[in-house]
Amino acid sequence: MPTAGSLKIEGRTVVLQDDWVLSCFNDLRKQVHAARPGAELPADDVDWSALKHLDSAGATLIAELLGSERLTRLAEADTTLAPERKGLLLTVARAMSGLDATPPTRTRGIRQSLAAVGRTITGFAKDQKLLAGFIGLTLTTLAAIVLVPRRWRVTALVAHVQRTGLNALPIVALLTFLVGAVVAFLGATVLENFGATIYTVHLVTFAFLREFGVVLAAILLAGRTASAYTAQLGSMKANQEIDALRASGLDPMEMLVIPRVLAMVISLPFLTFVGMVSGILGGALVCLYSLDISATQFVSIIEQDIPLNHFLVGLGKAPVFAFVIAVIGCLEGLKVSGSAESVGQHTTSSVVQSIFMVILLDAIAALFFMEMGW
């Protein structure tokens, strides 16, 4: 263990003793500040002979004590100093002379907070504009390649369908099954008071055909796939792969964005269908075991009382949600700048935005379909 250094002032000579190293920094700093309370230290000589270890932290404190100019002068004039110690003192003194005594700070105040609020709001507006522009760009690119089979990226498309659609099937089925069972239990509990437990069937099928099937699947894909899109494109952007594509005359929209968007638009309706079926199955199971509604009865009620248009209303929303989720995922990925941290931020933002958009669009659609009487 080093012995903490100390300093004495004898007349106009500063006597430095023992170890001036990082591990004793706090102790040494107190002594330095005590010896030099703001004013210039009246000293023009230093006795280095009792100084044992010295490192750059200690040298910094000595430079603070004496001022870097005086330290340079004294160290250069001194003949007793070992050359490496002199080198250390001079190097540190030179480094310190460029530094201001007051640290540079990033100012924080009411003006800055107000400016931050303004920046956030204009940033939000800009993001929406960018999203609208990106949707337009996606659509025009799509229109440009739709009639040219040579430019279809079938392999990429199939690979993405497998990743976003097929691989998400089990989790979507399980989740909607469980929610279906929960909705049936809720319905059974509430409807029992009216002796109308049979309407649990209607509740579950209505809910899943119109809303839950598509919304649950869309939210799952927003969490699972939008984030994946952002992370994939984001790390490609950070690694300059997107720039490399552009520089070799290839269109990243066509190569990367379109296959992902189309894969999502293809996958989500299928997942929605699976979600509807498995949610209704969950409900049917609860009906069978706790309400004594047999499977045949369940199916015949659906057949008689539930018109096809509920199914179509639910399924019709799927491609729209899919398009929005995929576009937000890709756009956030392309917004990534440089660092790994940025990939993380944009991934979070893409999930939040796409879930928000799904719920917002669903609410608007619900109003619209209600007014239309569909």
Partner 1 sequence: MVTEPLIQVRGLENRFGDHRVHEDLDLDLYPGEILGVVGGSGTGKSVLLRSIVGLHQPNSGTISVFGGDLMTMSSGERSRTERRLGVLFQGGALYTSLTLQENIALTLIEHARLSRKDAEHLARMKLALAGLPPEAALNYPSELSGGMVKRAALARALALDPEVLFLDEPTAGLDPIGAAAFDALLKTLRDALGFSVFMVTHDLDTLYATCDRVAVLSRGQVLVADSLDVVEQNPDPWIQDYFHGPRGRAVAAAHSQHTEEDH
Considering the complex, what minimum distance in angstroms separates the CB of residue 85 from partner 1?
Answer: 9
| Whole-angstrom distance, CA of residue 7 vs CA of residue 20 | 10
Considering the complex, what minimum distance in angstroms separates the CB of residue 29 from partner 1?
Answer: 6
Paired strand residues for 18? 51
| Nearest to partner 1 of 60, 138 (CB atom) | 60
| Rg from Cα positions in the chain | 35
Considering the complex, what minimum distance in angstroms separates the CB of residue 61 from partner 1?
Answer: 9
Q: Which residues bind partner 1 (CB under 8 A)?
A: 21-23, 25-26, 29, 55-57, 60, 84, 87-88, 90-92, 95-96, 98-100, 103-106, 337-342
| Nearest to partner 1 of 87, 123 (CB atom) | 87
| Nearest to partner 1 of 58, 252 (CB atom) | 58
Considering the complex, what minimum distance in angstroms separates the CB of residue 58 from partner 1?
Answer: 9
The angle subtended at Cα 361 by Cα 316 and Cα 323, nearest 5°, is 60
| Nearest to partner 1 of 24, 46 (CB atom) | 24
Match 């300059």 to its residue by tokens: 240
Considering the complex, what minimum distance in angstroms separates the CB of residue 168 from partner 1?
Answer: 31
SS3 state of residue 21: coil
| Whole-angstrom distance, CA of residue 358 vs CA of residue 214 | 10
| Nearest to partner 1 of 95, 190 (CB atom) | 95
| Whole-angstrom distance, CA of residue 139 vs CA of residue 245 | 20
Q: Which amino acid is at 156?
A: A
| Nearest to partner 1 of 49, 337 (CB atom) | 337
- Inter-residue long-range contacts of 153-157, CB under 8 Å, 24+ positions, other chains counted: 153/254, 153/255, 153/258, 153/259, 156/255, 156/259, 157/259, 157/262, 157/263, 157/266
Considering the complex, what minimum distance in angstroms separates the CB of residue 56 from partner 1?
Answer: 6
